[in-house]
Chains A and B, each alone.
Chain A
Amino acid sequence: MVTNGVGRYFKNIKDAVATIFEGMTVTFSHLVRKPYTIQYPDRVPVRIQDTLPFRYRGILEVDLEICTGCLACERACPIDCIVIDAPKDQKTKEMLLTRFDIDIAKCMYCGLCSEVCPTGSIHHTTEFEGADFSLESMIRRFVKAPVVAYKAKKEGETDPVVAPILERGMRYIQEFAEPADMKKIKAEQKSAAA
């Protein structure tokens, strides 16, 4: 250990030179390392949306083919950003969907609507680029012309158009309600209790 004044003076000089040299080697080694920057949005190898998980809570979307018109999502929405009009057709006694609006500007992406949906019709997408020029254009209007609400069939869905959409919807709500790892956690909790 150097304790006296003169020794410390020269030790300071030596330390300064040695540490600056070492620091310079560290920064120089960074010159040849790959930068971590993701050059969103135009210089990425894959679209960011495609890298996001299935359950990512992006902008809401509705598959009208499998919407039952139960209004569960409208009731579940804490900020009333979903507006549905579902009157009964007087002649055929079927439920019609005449309006299904979601105000994306209000939506807070809580996911309560997609949790209660029985068919997974209303679901989050991985799309997150929602910027637009007016509030009016932020309202997504899904019903272009009135459609008949979906009715679950006992024998299962056979329509080749609707079937894959329903299959996807059911997968979605299943994942939402009970993700795979959640099952494991619950089983562990049960075994720990027993």
Chain B
Amino acid sequence: MQQFIDRLIANGAFAGMPVEVVYALMMLLFGVLVVFGFFLPIAGVTSWLERRVWARMQSRVGPNRVGPQGFLQWLADGIKLLLKEDIVPDAADRPLFLFAPYFVVWGIVATFVVIPFSSSLIIADMNVGILYLTAVTALVVVGVLMAGWASNNKWSLIGGIRSAAQIISYEIPAGLALLPVVLLTGTLSTQGIIEAQGWAPWHWFAFNNPFTFVAAFMFYVAALAEGNRTPFDIPEAESELVAGFCTEYSGFRYLLFFMAEWGNLYVIGAVATLLFFGGWQVPAWTSNIVLLNLSQFVVFFVKSYLWVIISMWVRATLPRVRVDQLMILCWKYLVPIGFVNLIGTAIWMVVWPQGNRIVQYGMVILAAAVLVQFFRRVRFHLRRARPELYYSPAI
């Protein structure tokens, strides 16, 4: 994006304006563009899709009344929450209480700076992209803890503290899962990591060697835990903590928390895709730069949204873990496995500096076999239950 602006300035598009002002204006413009053009709709549509997917997995229908198949439900919900009163409890720490949701949203939106949607569609290709990503998502902890503390409510406080403990703990396995990829590419830039991969599955880092394959799933699990998603949603466990840190929130501020949660799902998917699943890589099928970028965008979006759908699916499948189980999973399982992955990848790179093509093909075949086995089990369950089948997503 910076090259784009530089070119505009060089062409005299902003004649007479100081360069700093142009940059500031462009930052604002792209910020607004990302938030309102991408983040908001994605979070909204995800919220609707999640409710539909969940419902079908629980033999229900889900919201299907507002717009075609309930597609505009997210708009209706958003407008409803905008019109609601913004209540601040008397005993709350007012400035902190009012400010906390913005931190949570900032933490998520700021990650969009380094997410590459295509080879040229990226706001800033930082040379410390991955580091920036992990650092900026830590803002969420600040927001959550602020919300929990400022609400002056024991449920909120417990929720906030649990969330802080959880996010800080899971930063470590998430970071450890990123490291094998950084080792393989030798760069922290998100574009650099994608360029080191190829369009075919055997070029992806997930199938580079067994250690990165494990790291991919470890990253996904740790990222879900960082995002307070369902198997790990103890900070907002309804049965224990009412709504955790957002108990006292209402109206638009409440909406912001959930927008951040659903937006975060997409960020998780996007990061998993760019690190392990080839990012926007497509075969060079056209020389038209616009078409090429468009196809890259579509490929990237589909790949990352697949992970969003998987997270909905996980949410419909797994029950909530206890606090101690959460910590056991993090410290006794994910962290040691993360170290093994890191060392294993390092040794792998010493033995096969160019990567082992046979292993890569083998792992893709193995993944395909797992997928086949998966559908065989699905067919088994369908045959055993003999349910009335209904394939159409519309109802």
Contacts and interface: CB of A to CB of B under 8 A. Distances in A.
Interface of A: 9, 12-13, 20-37, 39
A37 B61 CA distance: 6
10 contacts: A12-B333, A20-B317, A27-B57, A31-B56, A32-B382, A33-B59, A33-B382, A33-B387, A35-B60, A36-B59
Contacts of A33: 59, 382, 385, 387-390
A36 B390 contact: no
Given A33-B387, A33-B388, A34-B387, A39 B318 contact: no
Contacts of A22: 377
Contacts of A23: 317-318
Q: Is the interface of A mostly helix, strand, loop or mixed?
A: helix
A184 to B, nearest CB: 32
A30 to B, nearest CB: 5
Interface string B44-58: 000000000101111
B318 A25 contact: no
Contacts of A35: 55-56, 59-61, 390, 395
Nearest to B315: A27
B122 interface: no
A26 B56 contact: no
Given A22-B377, A24-B314, A25-B381, A34 B61 contact: no
Interface in B250-294: none
B352 interface: no
A37 B318 contact: no
Given A20-B318, A27-B57, A32 B313 contact: no
Contacts of A34: 59, 387-390
A13 to B, nearest CB: 7
Contacts of A28: 57, 313, 374, 378
A120 B68 CA distance: 48
Interface string B345-378: 0000000000000000000000000000010011
Interface residues of B, number: 28
A37 B57 contact: no
B57 A30 contact: yes
Contacts of A30: 56-59
B313 A24 contact: yes
Contacts of B4: none
A23 B385 CA distance: 15
Interface string B92-111: 00000000000000000000
B229 to A, nearest CB: 14
Contacts of B9: none
Across the A-B interface, give the 4 residue pairs with the lowest CB-CB distance, nearest first: A34-B390, A25-B377, A29-B381, A34-B388
B124 interface: no
Contact of A21 (B333, B374, B385): B374
B378 A25 contact: yes
Given A34-B388, A34-B390, A25 B374 contact: yes
Contact of A32 (B60, B317, B374, B391): B391
Contacts of A39: 61
A36 B395 CA distance: 11
B242 interface: no
Given A20-B318, A24-B313, A39-B61, 14 more contacts: A12-B333, A13-B333, A21-B377, A24-B314, A25-B381, A27-B313, A27-B316, A28-B378, A32-B382, A32-B389, A34-B59, A34-B390, A35-B390, A36-B59
Given A13-B333, A29-B378, A36 B389 contact: no
B320 to A, nearest CB: 14
Contacts of A20: 317-318
